[in-house]
Amino acid sequence: MDYDIAIIGAGVAGSYLGSLLRNVLEDKKIVIFEQLEKPIIKDSGIVSMNIEKFIEKRTLRKLIRKKIKRMQLFSPNGKRIVLSTKKPFAYGLKRKDFIKTLRSPIKDMIKYEHVLSVKLRSDCALVTTENDKYFIRFLVGCDGANSLTRKAMVERGETKQPTLLYGAFVQQKPTKYVKVYLNKFYSPDFFAWNFFGEYGLATSYRPRAHLDYFLKKQDVKPKRIFASPIPIGLIKSFTDRCILVGDAASQVKPLTGGGIIYSLKAATYACDVIKKAFSLSRFDSYVLRSYEKKWKEDFGNEIKRGIEVRKIYRKMTNKQINEAFDLFKNDVEEAFARQAVKQYDYLSSITSSIPKKKITKFMLKNLSLLR
Ligand SMILES: Cc1cc2nc3c(=O)[nH]c(=O)nc-3n(C[C@H](O)[C@H](O)[C@H](O)COP(=O)(O)OP(=O)(O)OC[C@H]3O[C@@H](n4cnc5c(N)ncnc54)[C@H](O)[C@@H]3O)c2cc1C
């Protein structure tokens, strides 16, 4: 074998997992394949306070761009829901510095090679890069939303493809506020945003046309557009000799598109199972399934509920969104103020705080949403 462990991708999931594995499996030969030497900015870097569990305090302080205590949701007819808390419920990170920080302890483990294909065999995983072929005892796919590792699992009937939304944004002069627009003309199946002067949206349908329209309405002239896919779905994340972590495993919140904290959490669960697999010298699905059990116990239900809420939201018209704003505004504002500091990674708990009576009333009036 060329390596005991290969991780594909030195993004959030791969970099963090690499540093955890280095500490617990010192004697193993570990490599991380990464295609880009200079990390790109691909997201807004908004994370819950749970980031404090993963990054040491002093380092984190230098990575915080903004502390977020207030966010405004706008309906198509301009009504507002103001989500605010006394203490910050989220941080806006300096995204480039964040990934540099994660990569710094694993610099020497990274091979900057583009992986062209992955084959999962019973005796090893075969990874072919632009430079060479490598025989790997254990493979971890941290290769993002368009994961090649996941593709190899899909081809063997081991998992399925998640839905891909396309997120795109442009950076303008910083503003002081976070605004989120729920408007079908901007994004038919997600939302558009202005996060402190970063204007963007995600949708699975004609992303560029919607972005152009949104930017025109916001009076923003686009310069450079950053665009990346966002996976949505609850999928299987393990097979013999291989697991998926982060966007590759679709570990993303369906209500916000946020995946940084879930990727970090999943990396810790992945580290535990890989350590166990090497101690038993067993790399079969039977041993690896405890990885999936752990992450699904933590945030699998949240993903499931988020998908259900999204299903309804996708069918809603702008008129129905306006109605929902009028009906649920107070409940959502109160529940958010109470829960968001602790529960920002589990936002569906806020929808479950809305009185059932009100939801039933809304659904009965809009029966088409249940079909
Ligand atoms: C527009 C947008 C806004 C977002 N905003 C937020 C936000 O505010 N907060 C939040 O929590 N999340 C946000 N996300 C989601 C977040 O970016 C991801 O969930 C997170 O980056 C997942 O990390 P990852 O390591 O799994 O994947 P990635 O960060 O995508 O890392 C994958 C790595 O694998 C490498 N790679 C891929 N294929 C290969 C290959 N074949 N060979 C070698 N290397 C390869 C890539 O170069 C990359 O470095 C946003 C996403 C988008 C698109």
Angle between helices 260-280 and 285-295 (to 10 degrees): 150
Which ligand 1 atom is at minimum distance from the Cα of 259?
19
Give the pair of three-digit tokens for residue 295.
């992450």
Helices 318-343, 356-365: inter-axial angle, 10-degree rounding: 160
pLDDT digits (tens, 9 = 90+) for 127-176: 999 999 999 999 999 999 999 999 999 999 999 999 999 999 999 998 99
With a Cβ cut-off of 6 Å, ligand 1 is lined by 8-14, 33-36, 42-47, 114-115, 142-144, 148, 167, 169, 200, 228, 230, 246-248, 252, 257-260, 263
What mean pLDDT is predicted for residues 290-303?
97
pLDDT in tens, 242-262: 999 999 999 999 999 999 999
The pLDDT assigned to 367 comes to 87
Measured CA to CA, the distance from residue 32 to residue 85 in angstroms comes to 40
Nearest CA to ligand 1 atom 30: 144
Domains and CATH numbers, the chain: 3-162+233-351 (3.50.50.60)
* Residue 347 binned pLDDT confidence (cut-offs 50, 70, 90): confident
Q: Check pLDDT > 90 for residue 349.
A: no
Query: Closest ligand 1 atom, CA of 116?
Result: 41
The share of the chain scoring above pLDDT 90, in percent, equals: 90
Pocket test for ligand 1, best of 44, 106, 148, 195 (most atoms within 8 A of CB): 44
Residue to probe by mutation, ligand 1, list 260, 345, 347, most atoms within 8 Å of CB: 260
Structure tokens at 223: 């310069």
Q: Which of 40, 42, 63, 130 to mutate to test the pocket of ligand 1 (most atoms within 8 A of CB)?
A: 42
How confident is the model over 32-50, as pLDDT tens digits? 999 999 988 888 899 999 9
CA distances from 325 to 45, 82, 220, 311, 316 (A): 27, 11, 26, 18, 12
What distance in angstroms lies between residue 327's CA and the mean position of ligand 1's atoms?
A: 36
DSSP β-ladder status, 178-181 and 80-84: unpaired
Atom of ligand 1 nearest to the CA of 10: 49
Q: Which amino acid is at 292?
A: E
pLDDT score of 223: 81
